[in-house]
């Protein structure tokens, strides 16, 4: 007569966890959509300087990144002088023109005038290399630049 057995009295019924995967998937999708993967593997030290009068650099698709700094520990064979990095590799000042041209070609034509060049330069770098980059950018008429910095007071560095 087990069919008519009385239900056990008392005892808290187990919480139904069937919806747990759904919740986790929801979170997963949120982070998948919000994720921006690092575009470049840095081969240089990139400790940005501080500034407090900063403006946000939104519209990530309209930014070209130029990195500069000393080669990091794994790339000591490239010397200790500051180097430029474009995309994933070390580059010379003369490579900037072709880099800018390639970046422009990969964007829609009407967006090209809005492109900004973000200079991510290590704080300990000498201005000489930055001056060379700027001169090269002027030559290819990429005049909008952004000195990428960390937000903070300039004095406590």
Partner 1 sequence: MSKRAAPEVNAGSMADIAFLLLIFFLVTTTIEVDSGLNRKLPPIEETEPPIIKQKNIFTVLLNGNDQLLVEDEIMEVKDLREAAIAFLDNGGDGSCDFCKGKRDPESSDNPSKAIISLKNERETTYKTYIAVQNELVAAYNVLRNKRAEALYGKTFTEMEANVNDVNWPGNKERLKDQLEKIKLDYPQKLSEVQ
Nearest to 112 by CA among 40, 67, 63: 63
Q: Give SS3 for 119.
A: strand
- Candidates 56, 73, 105, 110; binder of partner 1 (CB under 8 A) is 56
The answer to the question of residue 57 lying near partner 1 (CB under 8 A) is yes
Least Å distance between CB 95 and partner 1? 19
Least Å distance between CB 47 and partner 1? 9
Nearer to partner 1, 50 or 78 (CB): 50
Q: Which of these segments, 7-15, 72-80, 99-107, 124-132, binds partner 1 (CB under 8 A)?
A: 124-132
Strands of the 83-86 sheet, one edge to the other: 89-91, 83-86, 63-69, 116-121
Tell me if 43 sits within 8 A of 90, measured CB to CB: yes
The answer to the question of residue 147 lying near partner 1 (CB under 8 A) is yes
Whole-angstrom distance, CA of residue 140 vs CA of residue 124: 27
Per-residue binder mask for partner 1 (CB under 8 A), 36-55, x = binder: xxx----------xxxxxxx
């Amino acid at each position: 007569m087990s069919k008519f057995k009385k239900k056990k009295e008392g005892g808290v019924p187990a919480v139904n966890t069937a919806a747990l995967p759904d919740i986790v998937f929801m979170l997963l999708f949120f982070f998948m959509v919000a994720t921006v993967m690092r575009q470049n593997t840095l081969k240089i030290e990139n400790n940005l300087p501080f500034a407090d009068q900063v403006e946000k650099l939104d519209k990530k698709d309209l930014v070209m990144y130029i990195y500069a700094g000393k080669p990091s520990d794994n790339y000591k064979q490239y010397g200790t002088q500051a180097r430029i990095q474009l995309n994933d590799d070390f580059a010379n000042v003369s490579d900037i023109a072709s880099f800018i041209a390639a970046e422009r070609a990969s964007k829609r034509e009407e967006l090209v005038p809005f492109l900004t060049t973000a200079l991510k330069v290590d704080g300990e770098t000498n201005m000489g290399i930055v001056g060379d980059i700027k001169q090269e950018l002027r030559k290819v008429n990429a005049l909008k630049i952004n000195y990428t910095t960390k937000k903070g007071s300039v004095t406590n560095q």
